[in-house]
Amino acid sequence: MTLDNSAQRSTNFRVPVLPISTLSADPHRVYRHYRKEIPFILSEAGVYLILRADDVLSLCSDAKTRQVETELVTLRGVEDGPIWEFVRNGMLTSNGDVHLRRRSPLTRTFAFKMIDALRPLIRETVAQIADTAAPDGGMDLLEDFAALIPARIIASILGLPQDDVNRFTEIVYRFSPLLGGSWRAQDVPQLQRAAGELRSYVADVVAKRSYEKNNDFVSKLLSDVESDGSLSAEEVITQIMTLIVGGSDTTRSAIVIQLAVLLQHPEQWNAVLDNHDLVPKAVLECLRYEPAIGSVPRFTTTDIELDGALLPANKACSLVTMSALRDEHLYNDPDRLDITREQLKWHPVFGAGAHRCLGEALAKAELEEALTVLAERFPTIRAAGAFPKVTGFSGIRTVQNFPVTWDVNRAR
């Protein structure tokens, strides 16, 4: 650990600079340690990590910060190629009117009311996957269950061929570290390749829909854009790429994490088995306790004082939701899993303000249906080895494979 003098404080505060290896080893411990003493720390990549719940929640929608645009990739030396085009044209990396213009064509499809109408499709998809696995008495929860659910659902929503699911998910899993906080300059070549492959796939889909329009999301988006000129061709491709990544990756990790967390707390899992009405609360508590997304990226537009420490202007920062979700000033006994806990009306894991997660309703629906089916079909499900490790201290986090087993004669 080193110290950085750019953050000033009345008591000669120097912000600790932590190696990515230290942050990655045990982020909950690191955040717990520093959160009590100081409002932020600095990663060796040059990103300020904001730790306290009050600061994280307020800065999500404070005009003193904005969404990170190209700053994070520039810090790592990226100024061209598929990564640059993705960041330059994406709704996740834009602000103000540009962000609104890129996001607006997508919002209706992912609204809570529209997703509720998709519940039967989600439930049927999860049940079909469970039916395939049931006779085997075991599976890798990540590859054989969790990865299939969001990928098949997003394909159905967007109108992508189900036969393409394996192809685009394999690319997505290589591309998604870009949206995390732990990639380094040496990772750029492989991320560029993945970004290029995903762009090529989406560009092919868009080209086909341009002359063979169907009654699906992509066809409707193209028709709307043609009529109002709201998005450029590259912006259309980038927003669809964003939906595929967001709809395929984070939810698969969250499905694995929530079961692993519950199985490690048998009294909580047994409560779900006894009363499936607890599923929505269990989902929200698992998202709090061990989130699949660790932070929200922002950029400071002015100097910001946090508890006497000065966060400099024009700096990339990370609003660390996984730290805020374990902050004792926001939750009582935050390191304890409690599925009966009263949650905030708007769960912090999905962000806040204009950039609140577009896929919140879909993610909740998929997580709830997945957990319900596991509880109903496999009440004896258990780890077939070690529980999976969740890695990552910010952005999109990852989870290891999770072999599970169950008693076939008690599967339904």
Q: Is 299 within 8 Å of 69 (Cβ atoms)?
A: yes
Supply 177's token pair.
């570290």
Beta bridge partners of 316: 299
Rounded to 5°, angle at Cα 7 from 19 and 21: 5
Where do the structural domains in the chain lie, given as residue ranges? 2-410
Residue 192's pLDDT is 96
Using CB atoms within 10 Å of the CB of residue 310, give its burial: 0 to 12 exposed, 13 to 18 middle, 19+ buried.
Answer: middle
Dihedrals phi, psi of 381, to nearest 5 degrees:
-60, 140
- The whole-angstrom separation of Cα 221 and Cα 226 is 9
Specify the 3-state DSSP secondary structure of 260. Answer: helix
pLDDT mean by block of 10 residues, the chain; 412 residues: 56 83 96 97 94 96 92 89 96 95 91 92 96 93 96 92 92 88 84 96 93 84 87 95 89 97 98 98 98 94 96 95 97 97 94 92 97 97 97 92 92 70
Beta bridge partners of 3: 16
- The whole-angstrom separation of Cα 49 and Cα 77 is 21
- The residue among 100, 76, 72 whose CA lies nearest residue 88 is 72
Supply 236's token pair.
């259309």
Where on the phi/psi map is residue 360: left (φ > 0), alpha (ψ -120 to 50), or beta? alpha
Exposure string of 346-381, with b = 16+ CB inside 10 Å and e = fewer, is ebbbbbbeebebbbbbbbbbbbbbbbbbbbebbbeb
Residue pointed to by tokens 């906080």: 181
Whether domain 2-410 has CATH 1.10.630.10? yes
Residue 310's pLDDT is 96
- The whole-angstrom separation of Cα 329 and Cα 344 is 13
- Identity of the residue numbered 366: E
Displacement of CA 118 from its chain's centroid (Å): 21
Q: Whole-structure pTM over 0.95, yes or no?
A: no
The bridge status of strand 403-405 relative to strand 382-383 is antiparallel
Other CB atoms within a 10 A radius of the CB of residue 226 amount to 11
Rounded to 5°, angle at Cα 273 from 253 and 406: 65
Residue 10's pLDDT is 45
For the chain, how many helices (H) and strands (E)?
19, 14
Residue 179's pLDDT is 83
Residue 164's pLDDT is 93
Dihedrals phi, psi of 366, to nearest 5 degrees:
-65, -40
- The whole-angstrom separation of Cα 306 and Cα 92 is 26
Specify the 3-state DSSP secondary structure of 251. Answer: helix
348, HSE (Cβ side, Cα atoms, 13 Å)? 30
Q: Is 297 within 8 Å of 316 (Cβ atoms)?
A: yes
